[in-house]
Structure 1
Amino acid sequence: MPLSSENSKRAWLRMLLLLGVAFVLGGFVLPNIHITWRESESQASMGGLDVSLGKPQTSLSPLEVYARAAQAVYRSVVYIDASETVRVEPDIFDEMMGVEPQVEQSHWEGSGVIITPDGYILTNEHVVGRSDSGRTITVTLADGRRFKGHLVGADYTTDVALVKIDGHNLPAAKLGTVRGLVPGQICVAIGNPLGLRFTVTNGVISALDRPIATDDGRIYSHLIQHSAAINPGNSGGPLVDIEGRVIGINTLVRQHAEGIGFAIPIDTALQVAEELKAYGRVPRPWLGVVVQTNTPSLATRFGLPPVKGVVVTGVYRDGPAAQAGIEPGDVITRVNGRPITDSDQFRAVTQGLKVGSTVTLEVHRGDQYAQVQVQVAQQP
């Protein structure tokens, strides 16, 4: 018993000593200790990309070809928000109740790519609208900076638009070409699909020179078909090769299709951009005729020359063709010596003509034919 009592006293003394030490640490030492929490790399980065700097968090393996391509162009990709005040007319029931017309803001979201250090940006016409649409354009860079965008010009036919922001030493993308591309080559797309800012997807070039017609009457020619996933919001963003060079401007995806995207060749987009910068529009060649493909049944029915070519079904008054003496019922079989077999070929050939040049048409009328010189005008 005496031994047990002595041990109990020692245990109480130890406890009191420990409490005293804890009191000293809590009152004097801990308030002077500064703790810094550090976020892990997986939490601090977004997809391996530093949004503010556009640099990889860690060194990339030579096998990371998609990531390297994305890194090369990432900082050049922009998010575009276009808004427009739209007048909403009341329906018949609202009119009966005396409801006045209302206005609301409509928004279009898309992507773009900086092509010059002083702020010229390529995007789609269907993102920013026509030159006279009056849409307010806001451009957001990958580093978070926001600029007001000025629409230099937009071309409905090619779906290419040129936007300018006031900036200096901006991260312009490296520009490539479609010349030499072959199906199977690696490609990477960057854009803002469905509002998900700066998304990277990859695939391969599936085909070249695809002609596509859309429900709104827009006709694309020579498109790049690829398998990189794109969705609404990717429009206007770049398609790049393995070196990160821009080879196309993503423009549409077929609804209800998987793994099929399309891009405007960068060569076409840059050519259109130069004309938009110079003229605010694209001056297109115009002959002033309406044509359709000549067929044996058409020739028999209307007594036309039974030759391959296009039948002139309409001539614009005071247009180039009218001034050259071409009439409805004439059959055009050659343009500058090149045989013409249908209306699609005729349009493709004449679209390549230069405004102000002279074109030679081989024209059949009845059992006679002649070579007619026509001055190419600008499409009104």
Structure 2
Amino acid sequence: MPLETSVTTRPRLGFLGLGWIGRLRMRALADTGLAEIVALADPVADCLAEAGALAPGAARGSTLADVLDRGCDGVVIATPSALHAEQTIAALNSGVAVFCQKPLGRDADEAARAVAAAERADRLLGLDLCYRHTAAMQAIREIVQGGDIGEVFAADLVFHNAYGPDKPWFYDAAQSGGGCVMDLGVHLVDLALWVLAFPPVTNVSAQLFAGGRPLTARDQVEDYATVTLQLGSGAVVRIACSWNLSAGRDAVIEASFHGTQGGAAMHNRDGSFFDFAAYHHTGTARRLLAEPPDDWGGRALAEWARRLGQAEGHDPAAENFVQLSRIIDRIYAAALEGDRCR
């Protein structure tokens, strides 16, 4: 699935946060040639050194201020979640576009303030909702929105990770905003809403667990979740996600959409975090829509960089990031308060 690479300019970009995901995204962007990487910042010297090997001409520092001092057009943020909203708002207030790792904020208030800053500054705000950009999910969205499976009345989405995050801050709710729902479930909620053209969510119910026991306080971090979203159309979306589940493989990642005239489904192959196949189902028959290989990991960032190079400003569709955060908030409220969040 090639990206259009002709741009008006090559934007000057800085990268803030150069752990595994930050370096992975930086490498993918460098390979496209869509942007010039001019600044790198991370407080960890080893991370900065590894990133510097990928962009030897870039200036190095440890803070957002170090990146902004280089006159960047945009900054890519891949720091711990507690810093996302604050750093995004600061960059936007400085007149710099932002591409941020999810979540945009630990709650909807933080996300809304970040989107409001993008609107005020008229700068492009992107969020790394990377699974939208897999060939598998692109194909599913096309046939769902094209009416090929009729009216969608149900969807099931799953992301079970046989491992857990390797950074301690993920397990501190004050820093992460939550556990597997914030880390993995956010992708599943986003995919359901994105495929179905962002319908209203009328009811939310959820069960969250930590160490096999129901979550009892917001300062706990869940490692297993089941969620049901009732949509304004009457359709229902069921979501399950987890860390450290005995899944018999590295990961289980699936998304199925059930319509009145057929279905569409994607799944990861052989427990992979990266390889996905998608199918169009009609009765007992299925038609292949997409399969590996598919180098999708950097596409969300590359698309943002391409749009930035064409001098695009604020995109009103960023309001969808706030809607996503509101639903995540409602999931936690439903689980902890027994509230169906009407």
TM-score for the superposition, normalised by structure 1: 0.22
Q: Tell me which protein shows more strand as a share of its residues.
A: 1
Decide which structure has the larger Cα Rg and report it.
Answer: 1
TM-score for the superposition, normalised by structure 2: 0.24
Larger relative CO (CA 8 A, sep 6+): 1 or 2? 2
